[in-house]
Structure 1
Amino acid sequence: MQSTQQAAGAPNPGRSGIRRAFFASLTGTALEWYDFAVYSAAAALVFGDLFFPSEDPLTGTILAFSTYAVGYISRPLGGFVFGRLGDVIGRKKVLIATLVLIGVATFLIGLLPAYGTVGVAAPIALVVLRFAQGVGVGGEWGGAVLLSSEFGDPRRRGFYASAAQIGPPAGNLLANGVLAALGVLLTEDQFLSWGWRVAFLLSGVLVGFGLWIRAKLEETPVFKAMEAEGTRPEAPIREVFTTQPRALCAAVLSRVAPDVLYAMFTVFVLTYATDELDMSRGSALTAVLIGSSLQVFLIPLAGAVSDRVNRRLLYGCSALAAGVWPFVFFLMVDGGSWILLVCGVVGGLVIHSFMYGPQAAFVAEQFSPRLRYTGSSLAYTLAGLIGGAIAPLLFTVLLSSYDSWVPLALYLAVAAAVTVVGLVLGRDADQAGEEEELLVTRAKTEPAVKLT
Structure 2
Amino acid sequence: MRRVALSGLLGTAVEFYDFLVYGTVAALVFGDLFFPDADPAVGTIAAFGTFAAGYLARPLGGVVFGHFGDRIGRKSMMLLTMVLMGGCSFLIGLLPTYDAIGVWAPVLLVALRVVQGIAIGGEWGGATLMVVEHAEHARGAHGSRRGLWSSFTQLGAPLGSVLSAGVVTLVSALPDDDFRSWGWRLPFLLSVVLLAVGLFVRLKVAESPLFEQVRREPLDRPPVVELLRRPAPVLRAACVGIGAFTAQSLLTGFMISYAVDHGYSRPQVLTAVTVASCVALAVLPAASALSDRVGRRPVVLAGAVASAALAFPVLALVDSGSPGLLILALALGHGVAQSTMYGPLGALLTEMFGTRVRYTGASLGYQAATLVGAGFSPLIAGSLLAVYGGGSTPVSLLLCGGAAITALAVWRMRETHTASLDASPTHRPAAPVSEGTPR
Shift of 1:435: 4.6
Structure 2 residue identity aligned to 1:370: R
Match of 2:27 in 1: 44
Q: Are residue 431 (structure 1) and residue 418 (structure 2) matched?
A: yes
What CA distance in whole angstroms lies between the structure 1 residues aligned with 2:306 and 2:2? 33
TM-score calculated relative to the size of structure 1 = 0.89
What CA distance in whole angstroms lies between the structure 2 residues aligned with 1:236 and 1:337? 51
Equivalent residue for 2:61, pick from 59, 78, 94: 78
Match of 1:88 in 2: 71
What CA distance in whole angstroms lies between the structure 2 residues aligned with 1:242 and 1:148? 28
CA-to-aligned-CA distance 1:213-246 (integer Å, 9 cap, x gap)? 1011100111111136x26675111111114x22
Report if aligned partners of 2:81, 2:120 keep a CA contact under 8 Å in 1. Answer: yes
The DSSP-based 3-state class of the residue aligned with 1:151 is helix
What CA distance in whole angstroms lies between the structure 1 residues aligned with 2:20 and 2:405? 25
What CA distance in whole angstroms lies between the structure 2 residues aligned with 1:69 and 1:437? 35
Q: Are residue 414 (structure 1) and residue 371 (structure 2) matched?
A: no
Structure 1 residue identity aligned to 2:16: W
What CA distance in whole angstroms lies between the structure 2 residues aligned with 1:40 and 1:271? 9
Match of 1:201 in 2: 189
What CA distance in whole angstroms lies between the structure 1 residues aligned with 2:421 and 2:10? 28
The DSSP-based 3-state class of the residue aligned with 1:219 is coil
Q: Are residue 325 (structure 1) and residue 310 (structure 2) matched?
A: yes
1:184-223 to structure 2, matched below 5 A, reads: 184=173, 186-223=174-211
Change (3 A) 1:414 1:218: same
Q: Quick check: 398-407 or 63-72, which moved more?
A: 398-407
Q: Are residue 339 (structure 1) and residue 324 (structure 2) matched?
A: yes
Q: Are residue 157 (structure 1) and residue 140 (structure 2) matched?
A: no
Shift of 1:428: 1.6
CA-to-aligned-CA distance 1:113-139 (integer Å, 9 cap, x gap)? 110111100000000001111111100
Shift of 1:257: 0.7
Match of 1:5 in 2: none
Report if aligned partners of 2:292, 2:417 keep a CA contact under 8 Å in 1. Answer: no
Unaligned runs of 5+ in 1: 1-17, 439-452
Match of 1:441 in 2: none
Shift of 1:85: 1.0
Match of 2:349 in 1: 363
Change (3 A) 1:251 1:39: same
The DSSP-based 3-state class of the residue aligned with 1:427 is coil
Match of 1:8 in 2: none
Structure 2 residue identity aligned to 1:387: G
Change (3 A) 1:312 1:233: farther
What CA distance in whole angstroms lies between the structure 1 residues aligned with 2:189 and 2:293? 42
The DSSP-based 3-state class of the residue aligned with 2:182 is helix
Match of 2:435 in 1: none
Match of 1:15 in 2: none
CA-to-aligned-CA distance 1:277-317 (integer Å, 9 cap, x gap)? x1111111111011112212221111101111121111112
What CA distance in whole angstroms lies between the structure 1 residues aligned with 2:47 and 2:153? 27
Match of 2:373 in 1: 387
What CA distance in whole angstroms lies between the structure 2 residues aligned with 1:111 and 1:249? 38
Shift of 1:73: 0.3
Structure 1 residue identity aligned to 2:4: A
Unaligned runs of 5+ in 2: 426-439
What CA distance in whole angstroms lies between the structure 2 residues aligned with 1:405 and 1:428? 36
- Give the structure, 1 or 2, with the largest relative contact order (CA under 8 Å, sep 6 or more): 1
Report if aligned partners of 2:72, 2:215 keep a CA contact under 8 Å in 1. Answer: no
Report if aligned partners of 1:270, 1:281 keep a CA contact under 8 Å in 2. Answer: yes
What CA distance in whole angstroms lies between the structure 1 residues aligned with 2:365 and 2:383? 27
Shift of 1:405: 1.4
The DSSP-based 3-state class of the residue aligned with 2:215 is helix
Shift of 1:431: 3.1
What CA distance in whole angstroms lies between the structure 1 residues aligned with 2:297 and 2:28? 37
What CA distance in whole angstroms lies between the structure 2 residues aligned with 1:285 and 1:53? 25
Match of 1:134 in 2: 117
Report if aligned partners of 1:79, 1:138 keep a CA contact under 8 Å in 2. Answer: yes
Q: CA RMSD in A?
A: 1.7
Report if aligned partners of 1:84, 1:236 keep a CA contact under 8 Å in 2. Answer: yes
What CA distance in whole angstroms lies between the structure 1 residues aligned with 2:190 and 2:265? 25
Change (3 A) 1:430 1:180: closer
Shift of 1:362: 1.2
Equivalent residue for 1:405, pick from 382, 392, 396: 392
Report if aligned partners of 1:249, 1:422 keep a CA contact under 8 Å in 2. Answer: no
Report if aligned partners of 1:250, 1:425 keep a CA contact under 8 Å in 2. Answer: no
Structure 1 residue identity aligned to 2:408: V
What CA distance in whole angstroms lies between the structure 2 residues aligned with 1:254 and 1:437? 23
CA-to-aligned-CA distance 1:131-185 (integer Å, 9 cap, x gap)? 111111100111111111111144211111112211121111111111111122x
What CA distance in whole angstroms lies between the structure 1 residues aligned with 2:227 and 2:406? 21
CA-to-aligned-CA distance 1:10-54 (integer Å, 9 cap, x gap)? xxxxxxxx1110111101221222112111111111111111114
Report if aligned partners of 2:88, 2:115 keep a CA contact under 8 Å in 1. Answer: yes
Structure 2 residue identity aligned to 1:367: F
CA-to-aligned-CA distance 1:85-138 (integer Å, 9 cap, x gap)? 111111100000000111111111011011011110000000000111111110
Structure 2 residue identity aligned to 1:211: L
What CA distance in whole angstroms lies between the structure 1 residues aligned with 2:327 and 2:252? 12
Report if aligned partners of 2:210, 2:423 keep a CA contact under 8 Å in 1. Answer: no
What CA distance in whole angstroms lies between the structure 2 residues aligned with 1:99 and 1:110? 17
What CA distance in whole angstroms lies between the structure 2 residues aligned with 1:388 and 1:268? 10
1:259-274 to structure 2, matched below 5 A, reads: 259-274=245-260
Q: Are residue 109 (structure 1) and residue 92 (structure 2) matched?
A: yes
Q: How many residues align?
A: 417
Change (3 A) 1:436 1:370: closer
Shift of 1:436: 8.6
Q: Are residue 227 (structure 1) and residue 215 (structure 2) matched?
A: yes
Shift of 1:197: 0.7
TM-score calculated relative to the size of structure 2 = 0.91
CA-to-aligned-CA distance 1:235-267 (integer Å, 9 cap, x gap)? 111111114x22112101011111110011101
The DSSP-based 3-state class of the residue aligned with 1:28 is helix
| Displacement over 3 Å in runs of 4+ | 231-234, 434-438
